Amino acid sequence: MNAAGRNALVTSVMICCGFVICWSAYVVIYVLNVTGAVKLDYNGWYYYYTAATMQLNSCINPFIYAAKYRDFQTGVRKMLKKSSGSVAVAAR
C-alpha cells in the first residue's frame, strides 16, 4: 500500500473511532432504556452529556483532517490569510 492509501486508511479509522467514542454513551443508555433496564431521565446530566458528545462528533472531523492532510492544512492557511487581509465595509 502506498503512502496516500495508508494515510487515507488511518484517517478513516480515526474518523470511525471518533464516531464510536462519541455515540457509544448514547447507544448504551438508549438500549438500556428500550429494554426497560433503566428509565431515561431526559432532564438528567447523563442525557445532556450524551447529547453533547453526539454534537462533538460533528465538530471533530475537521480537526482530524487538519492533523492528517497537508493539502487541508494549506487550504486553511490560505483561507485565513485571505480573511485576515482587508475587510470590506458594507455601504450604508
Q: If pLDDT is split at 50, 70 and 90, which confidence band does 58 have?
A: confident
pLDDT tens by residue, 11-55: 899 999 999 999 999 999 999 999 999 888 889 898 899 999 999
Helices (H), 1-92: 3-35, 45-68, 70-84
3-state secondary structure of 87: coil
Where are the chain's structural domains?
Answer: 3-71
Higher-confidence position of 45 and 71: 45
Name the pTM for this structure: 0.68
* Contact status, residue 73 vs residue 66, Cβ threshold 8 Å: yes
